[in-house]
Amino acid sequence: MPEIATIVRLAARGDGVTADGRYIARAVPGDGVDEDGAILPGPNHQQPACRHFGACGGCQLQHVPDALIAEFARDRILHPLERAGIVPTEVMPVHVSPAHSRRRAAMRATRTKGQVRVGFNAEGAHSLVDIAECPVLRPELFELVAPLRQILGPHLAERSAIGITMTLTDQGVDLLLSNLQANSLPVIEGLTGFARETGLARLSLEGPMGVETLVERAEPSIRMGGVTVTLAPAAFLQATADGEAALVEAVTLIVGSAGQLADLFAGSGTFALPLSRTAAVTAADGAGPAIRALAEAARRAGRALVTQHRDLFRKPLPADELGKFDAVVIDPPRAGAIAQMGELAQSKVPVIAAVSCNPATFARDAECLVAGGYTLHRLWPVAQFRWSTHIELVAEFRR
């Protein structure tokens, strides 16, 4: 009788792992695997939600039930911390965003053998999956795929590509197209008609000279903490509104009644604006358009918020300046912020709310803070990239 191995866990990239260490793509804990590597679905193996699963690189976990996705998210964060000798006092319940909740997406349009494709990169390849459905995207974004395929087709040479960045704002979709030549009246008129017919809030083009707005029906904006923030084209925004709410709630719980706060890598104000309801906030970021948008939004709303346009990688806020704050919020990009964490580790700040989108660099930065005398208390895992191995978190550090 052939030997059947059992999948016992999920690896960091979503593969199933057997007890003897074999990695099996698209397998779930509880599945069996025969000698030829064929998967025998177990009680946890669910039907994927999308016909493109296994080809499209956007979702690795559609065959995994939510309970195991939550367990996966928790383990993705805890294992790197354990290797660094750090154990949080308490791990809060995992937040998993629902289907059809992505409000921001980056895609491509290509032409291969005469066929125009619009979609996401294939799993582990540079080829493109021409999407016919997407259970991740907000419907307002997916509804643009077919019209984009039609309008961009004539502008695509064989094996060329056009970048597509879509953001759903309060006024509608903000669309940025990269590498599209629009230097003739017929092309401009065609794009203008497309923007009007699809109800875009704004259509911008990105080329060698930068970003140019072609059509703006309404200035795209988002409400953050009760304040309207105007967004630059393709400005950073948390991927889902409910994921953002989960992150903000955790950060708010950590800082509590702190009166003087610093928000480092503040962006357009995801945390700074909600916290400025009850505290005086100093917000710093190296992204000029984002920090200027935050400054203007705070000014209009009359919030007690001061902004600094500052490269926190090359010029981190020093420990002596940090000492004047009751709490610090820090939300660096995927690379983490080891220089700024070093200054925080030497500071007298009593509480730090650390937000991260990369468990590996978070563990490194956490090790720096712990070495400086901080203790990791509560930790909130957030899986807002539905069915993806991409995990975010909020962590509470105290002296």
**Which residues are the active-site residues?**
357
Picking from 356, 345, 348, the residue whose alpha carbon sits closest to that of residue 391 is 356
Dist CA 238 CA 245 (whole Å): 9
Dist CA 131 CA 148 (whole Å): 12
Question: Between β-strands 104-112 and 115-121, what pairing exists: parallel, antiparallel or unpaired?
Answer: antiparallel
Task: Show the tokens assigned to 4.
Answer: 């059947």
**258-269 per-residue burial string, b: 16 or more CB within 10 A, e: under 16:** beebbbbbbbbb
Task: List Cα–Cα distances, 233 to 211, 213, 282, 385, in angstroms.
Answer: 8, 8, 25, 22
148 exposure class (CB count in 10 Å sphere: 0-12, 13-18, 19+): buried
Other beta carbons less than 10 A from residue 272's beta carbon: 32
Task: Show the tokens assigned to 198.
Answer: 């699809």
Phi, psi of 177, rounded to the nearest 5 degrees: -110, 130
Helix, strand, or coil here: 193? helix
Task: Show the tokens assigned to 25.
Answer: 């793509």
106 exposure class (CB count in 10 Å sphere: 0-12, 13-18, 19+): middle
Task: Show the tokens assigned to 336.
Answer: 């983490």
Dist CA 240 CA 297 (whole Å): 21
Dist CA 239 CA 108 (whole Å): 18
Dist CA 390 CA 383 (whole Å): 7
Dist CA 70 CA 246 (whole Å): 14
Residue linked to tokens 């917000």: 283
Dist CA 375 CA 345 (whole Å): 11
308: left (phi over 0), alpha (psi -120 to 50) or beta: beta
